[in-house]
Each structure stands twice: as structure tokens, then as C-alpha cells.
Amino acid sequence: MFGMGYGGMGGAGRGVGVGIIVIAVLILIALGVIL
């Protein structure tokens, strides 16, 4: 959601890269909370 919003605002290449980074960080945080 957040990554997709960033992708829409930031443009194609840059937005997608930022979205992937944001999603990866959120996954790492989620795993940290679960573990």
C-alpha cells in the first residue's frame, strides 16, 4: 500500500525501487515482531 502510493507519486523506475525497499523493510519489521 505505502510502496504502491510512493510508486504512483515518484514515477516508474524510481517509484518501483522505493516501493520494493519499503516492502522489504516492512517484512523485516514484521518478522522481527513475530520472532
**Alpha carbon of 27 to those of 4, 11, 32, 33: distances in Å?**
15, 23, 9, 10
Residues in the chain: 35
Domain spans of the chain, in order of start: 2-34
- What is the predicted pLDDT for the residue at 15? 55
Q: What is the pLDDT along the chain (35 residues), one digit of tens a residue?
A: 444 444 444 555 555 666 778 888 888 888 888 87
- What is the predicted pLDDT for the residue at 16? 61
- What is the predicted pLDDT for the residue at 20? 78
**Alpha carbon of 31 to those of 2, 6, 13, 22, 28: distances in Å?**
18, 23, 27, 14, 5
- What is the predicted pLDDT for the residue at 24? 86
